[in-house]
Amino acid sequence: MQQWKDYQEKNKQRFLDELLELLRIPSISAKPENKNDMVSCAEKVKQRLEEAGAQKVEIFSTKGHPVVFGEIKVDDSKPTVLVYGHYDVQPVEPLELWHSGPFDPVIKDGKIYARGSADDKGQFYMHIKALETMVKTNSVPLNIKFIIEGEEEVGSDNLEPFLEAHKDLLKADVVLISDTSMISLDTPSLDTGVRGLSYIEVEITGPNRDLHSGVYGGAVANPITILAQMIASLHDENNHITIPGFYDDVQVLSEEERTKLNKAPFDESEYKNELGVKELWGEKGYTTLERTGVRPTLELNGIWGGYMGEGSKTVLPANAHAKISCRLVPGQDHHKMTDLLIKHLEKITPNCVRIKAFAHHGGNPYVTPIDSIEYKAAEKAIEATFGKAPIPVRGGGSIPITSLFESILNCKTIFMGFGLDNDNLHSPNEKYNVENYYKGIETIPYFHKFYADLKK
């Protein structure tokens, strides 16, 4: 499709400039102080969808942040692809580790540094530019709908009621999401599944006020010490998770599946070098690809308590806090696992302190069948623009809403991500390679074309 390539080549700089403009909006969904930025961001997405040729573009308000919808309808007899993305981004702390402002995008060595560059503004925006490419060259091969939401980073709490309320509007044959990564531009890959998530927060309270650690130390339980002991007890010496029942529902992979999974290219020493660690860590008996792809995990996402300032303060604090999340794999239900996690922590809390544990958000794991027409269309699209077929891999992250698309809209999801694992998602200096951005815009129209062809 030379006309796509020509159009994209001609509009290259504008495609990039528009993304940078979007990246300048600090759309942090977790922070109440960014509420207005969320609205501005939704409005910008609406404007860009309209300019790209989408119809019926509308901002739907929810109990939380708004959802942007748009569509292009070419022919009722053609299949419909529902593109999903999110315009909200993660918080930016610790700010001091950023080399440039998180909302002041900078291009350096071919990489766009900004919060949201890869997750997910840079990736969903490829779909808007792909739409523009097809519209302006009069070559839209099927019907396309868009929902770009604003709460992915805080658990998409209001997406389920939105999907329920707009089943007809959102009716589609497949959901297409670019919010994952590939191995590299040389070794393209497609995620065939994402892990689920259970995210909780714990507060351990000891005395009713901060105490002097000299006057009371040694006689009153220190909530930090107790919390540390509780956390330590959650993994055994083989880094298996010790919570009774934790692995009960995990679908065990066959030896054949494990062998296949471990065929994906992986260079341990390069991986370690890139992360700056001397040794890897993980559940005994599993490879790194298995640990990040098909095994459930329990991670500490945050901990705090007592004096955290400069110098020293001899305090025995009243409480200590932790944020803990589990990645879940097929077979595990996030409601059940969150409940199991909270109940276990409550059970192991000693009487000298009190616990308050509550759920933040969660989502179920999801697997895409690789023998489906949808997967084949994605495979062919990658092959068309990369010159080689993608390797199917299991992604370690979570996109909890995929199971909602299945249950409410009865749609399978295709993960066609163009990020890289080292894009620093959720971290300081998040980046997205300019080349990957353009490659995505180039590849997406082929997906629509091949999917329309295969569905004939």
Selected from 320, 357, 381, 434, the binder of its own copies by CB under 8 A is 320
Q: How far is the CB of 433 from its own copies (least distance, A)?
A: 16
Asked if 325 is part of the footprint of its own copies (rule: CB under 8 A), the reply reads: yes
Q: How many CB atoms lie within 10 A of CB 20?
A: 17
Asked if 391 is part of the footprint of its own copies (rule: CB under 8 A), the reply reads: no
With respect to its own copies, which residue has the nearer C-beta, 80 or 287?
287
What CA–CA distance (Å, rounded) separates 148 from 44?
A: 11
Q: Side chain identity at 384, as an amino acid letter? A: A
Active-site residue, 152 included: yes
Asked if 111 is part of the footprint of its own copies (rule: CB under 8 A), the reply reads: no
Cis-peptide, bond into residue 94, ω within 30° of zero: yes
Selected from 63, 96, 99, 232, the binder of its own copies by CB under 8 A is 232
Active-site residue, 88 included: yes
Within residues 195-214, the interface with its own copies by CB under 8 A covers 195, 197, 199, 201, 206-214
Catalytic hit among 132, 152, 191, 423 = 152
Do 396 and 189 touch, CB atoms closer than 8 A?
A: no
Catalytic hit among 18, 37, 88, 132 = 88
Q: How far is the CB of 362 from its own copies (least distance, A)?
A: 10
Chain centroid to Cα 358, Å, comes to 22
- Per-residue x/- mask for its own copies, residues 139 to 158, rule CB under 8 A? --------------xxx---
Selected from 126, 425, 434, 452, the binder of its own copies by CB under 8 A is 425
Within residues 73-102, the interface with its own copies by CB under 8 A covers 90-91, 93-94, 97
Q: How far is the CB of 157 from its own copies (least distance, A)?
A: 11
Within residues 351-380, the interface with its own copies by CB under 8 A covers 351-354, 360-361
Q: How many CB atoms lie within 10 A of CB 385?
A: 17
Within residues 41-70, the interface with its own copies by CB under 8 A covers none
Do 353 and 221 touch, CB atoms closer than 8 A?
A: yes
Within residues 243-282, the interface with its own copies by CB under 8 A covers 275-282
Q: How far is the CB of 231 from its own copies (least distance, A)?
A: 4
Selected from 21, 30, 108, 251, the binder of its own copies by CB under 8 A is 30
Selected from 11, 426, 454, 455, the binder of its own copies by CB under 8 A is 426
Q: How far is the CB of 227 from its own copies (least distance, A)?
A: 7
Q: Side chain identity at 405, as an amino acid letter? A: F
Can you give the length of the chain in residues? 456
Give the max Cα distance, the chain.
79
What CA–CA distance (Å, rounded) separates 342 from 442?
A: 46
Contacts of 325 (CB under 8 A, 6+ apart): 197, 198, 199, 200, 298, 299, 301, 360
Helix, strand, or coil (residue 38): helix
Token pair belonging to 147: 């929902």
372 exposed, middle or buried (CB, 10 Å; 0-12, 13-18, 19+)? Answer: middle
Token pair belonging to 48: 């860009």
What CA–CA distance (Å, rounded) separates 388 from 386?
A: 5
With respect to its own copies, which residue has the nearer C-beta, 270 or 310?
310
Q: Which stretch binds its own copies (CB under 8 A): 52-60, 338-346, 347-355, 375-383?
A: 347-355
Active site residues: 88, 152
